[in-house]
Amino acid sequence: MTVLGRRLPIALCLLFLFSGSSGLIYEVVWLRMLSRTLGSTVYATSTILAVVMAGLALGSFIFGRVADRVRRPLLFYACLEAAIGASALLSLGLNSWPIPLYRAIYSLAGHSRAALTLGQIAVAVAALLIPTSLMGATLPTLSAYGVRRFGLVGRVVGTLYALNTLGAAAGVLVSGFVLIGTIGETRTVIVGAIINGLVAIGAFLLSPGRANRPERIAEPSGVSLTVADNSTSRRARHMVLIIFAVSGFVSLALEIVWSRMLVLYEGTSIYAFSSMLAVMLVGIGLGGSLGRTVERWKDPLLALARLELGIALAAAYSLAVFGFLQQAYGSLLLPPVIMIAPAALLMGVAFPVAVRCYSDYAHIIGRRVGELYAWNTIGCILGSLACGFLLLPQFGAAHTGAILVGFSLIGSVALLSVHPRGLRRARVIDVVGFVVAAIVLATVGDPFRDHIYSRLKNTTVFAHVEEAAASTTAAGDPWNPLSRHLLVNGYGMTGLITGNKLMADLPLWLSDSPHDAVVICMGMGTTFRSAVRHRDIDVTVVELVPAVTRFMRFYHPDADSVMAEPNAHVVVNDGRNYLLMDQRKVDVITIDPAPPLYSAGTVNLYSREFVRLCADRISPGGAVCLWIPPGPLSEVEMIIRTFAVEFPYVTAWAGPTYPGFFLVGKLKPFDDIEGRVRRGFMDPTTVADLDEWDMSCATPERVLSLLICDRDALLAFTRNRPVLTDDHPYTEFPMWRMREENSEYHVDLDAIELRRWLRSKAK
């Protein structure tokens, strides 16, 4: 066998490790960037993932056929890495330059959301297809090079696949836990491009024969051009291709199911998402490393069939073990390790084994790897779309998981059916595996729903709905109309409090002759209901989760009549995206972002760009009202400063029954605040509405007593804080502030503390 120096393989492996990290760094940033225009929905996320994977599949398929004919593959690989970095830098304009085009499409299509979405997807495809296709080309290119130089398909492909996937896991962790929160999205992409540039330089330096000499291709002794001991027939190879596409479908759909279920233990933060994805990638990477010994396996096709059976069992296990994860509650890594790692490990092993079964000639290994990877990625695309648009809404998370277990079982049987010895090759272990999987599926029930119900002890569950956007639960005491709960993905959103009524009335009173209002985030519908009671105000509520709009009847007996009012309009959409596309001026915008402050996507309703968008959408005499719940001092101060910087005139108001506060911003000075509030109380309908649950806002004097301060005081209070931006969303990445024992993150700020600070300054 031709022996090469150890430094070459080690250096090449390190390059591919770093290449994998840059790819996931980009993907994390792209998901964040595109969600701000496509909307923060599961539909949007599924679509974005499908676009990224389509590029990977296309690049793998096309360049896989080219890789076998390239005379200097390392030089070709260096060019690929340089091109990935350059094209990724061009993607930084995704949040700005397409917006006029989006608005033109929206206007020409008669404000059709479907037409707009298609246009946005087309732009995303155009922007991301080049870098993702180039990423898809890297694995078949290096696989072709490695097999031609070293001859062992499983060892080469398994090693490269494992290292690239482990690098991807590192990229997820570094971007999610460090880079975006520390240096922002733009600089994070630049870091990724620098990594690609360094990898390109390294590959160029490793490429032999730089002085126009073709690279020598050595055939290892003992290995012919036909892959050794290839026991798979043409029919079997075709089945491997199909089943590996099904495996991709199952893996991506399971990832979505696991993400939905684990949110009950890990929350909705970017750290929880990064942890889950990293565990998945590490498991796949380690599995790929184990699979590189496939050349020593006597029957790779049987092994692949049993791996599919193992994936089915591991997925069934993940459903069964979910209800027992309470002991791991509060940990970011332990729940996904317990639940996801076994299946991810087996998925990783399956890739080099499938390559070994599908490959027949070593000199076309790039083509074979490219085809297999492309089909697997196409399966991932279909799995992402099918799970987000069909399976989750129709069957729920747990039952969708059960269906996917069934797909893996069918894949195992299909592979056995094309084995040279057919189903007779099955042994007792295979039969036992099928029986165990069937028993688990028959007895597991719906652990996701059951766990949500367990959080609602001593209450009655009125309704529970699983949709693509979220799982939504309405519950409460049927004998106490004020004891009501709204849970989205298992977390409480709001309550029936008078402060939510004031979020409608206060900005309407402070506006100049208002005629219309937009309420972003419906919650229990209290703000929307109070606004609709102003008969001369045209009110639109924009809510992300469809079930939330239907659940209003569980909190307000008159919900149906409120929604039937001619001045009431309900829009299911991402609130930010709605304002971005609809350029009409409105008199009032009131916003109540989903808690907690660090929840993934919440910062999109607190950032400078969003506040500026609101300021651009209101009429000259209009008002914008933003609710800020009690929270860490450092985070709340950043939100206050961001709002105060964008509006020339701001007032802060305490919540009447809850210690958060409202910020009301205007483009014109606040004039005669007392008179406006008193005139508001001349409407008997408004007075009756405010008095419905308590007397905290029963008189003008009580409302006026809630006024805390003006813009100058807020700017002085927050003078040392940075402004939140889309590029640098501090509040979504608080980990390092949380870890500092003396950090101001551990000091809570609410309306009471804000008043106390103002009094101390006055003295």
pLDDT tens-digit map of 7-57: 346 888 888 889 989 989 998 888 888 778 776 556 666 766 777 888 888
Domain with CATH 3.40.50.150 in the chain: 496-762
How far is the C-alpha of 757 from the C-alpha of 120, rounded, in Å? 46
Q: Decide if pLDDT at 230 tops 90.
A: no
Q: Where is mean pLDDT largest: 458-467, 468-477, 616-625? A: 616-625
Domain 230-445 falls under CATH 1.20.1050.10: no
The CATH number of the domain covering residues in 7-151+168-209: 1.20.1250
Question: What would the pLDDT profile of 347-372 be if each residue is shown by its tens digit?
Answer: 988 888 888 888 765 556 677 777 88
pLDDT value of residue 562: 95
- Whose CA is closest to 37, among 599, 729, 613? 613
Kindly state the average pLDDT of the residues 113-119: 76
Confidence of residue 327 (pLDDT cuts 50, 70, 90): low
Confidence of residue 762 (pLDDT cuts 50, 70, 90): low
Q: Decide if pLDDT at 220 tops 70.
A: no
Tokens of 353: 């084994």
Question: What would the pLDDT profile of 278-300 be if each residue is shown by its tens digit?
Answer: 888 899 888 888 877 766 777 88
Question: What would the pLDDT profile of 605-661 be if each residue is shown by its tens digit?
Answer: 999 999 999 999 999 999 999 999 999 999 999 999 999 999 999 999 999 988 889
Alpha-carbon distances, residue 53 vs 249, 369, 377, 381 (angstroms): 12, 16, 6, 6
pLDDT value of residue 227: 44
The pair phi, psi for residue 618, each rounded to 5°, is -90, 155
Please name the residue that has the structure tokens 């094209």.
87
Angle between helices 365-386 and 234-266 (to 10 degrees): 40
Domain with CATH 1.20.1250.20 in the chain: 230-445
Q: Decide if pLDDT at 146 tops 70.
A: yes
Burial of 480 (0-12, 13-18, 19+ CB in 10 A): exposed
pLDDT value of residue 638: 94
Output the CA torsion 91→64→20→201 (10° steps): -80
CATH class as words, domain 496-762: alpha beta
In whole angstroms, what separates CA 493 from the centre of its chain?
A: 20
Neighbours of 629 (CB within 10 A): 17
| C-beta separation of 18 from 28 below 8 A | no
pLDDT value of residue 228: 41
| DSSP code for 607 | S
Paired with 474 in beta bridges are: 463, 486
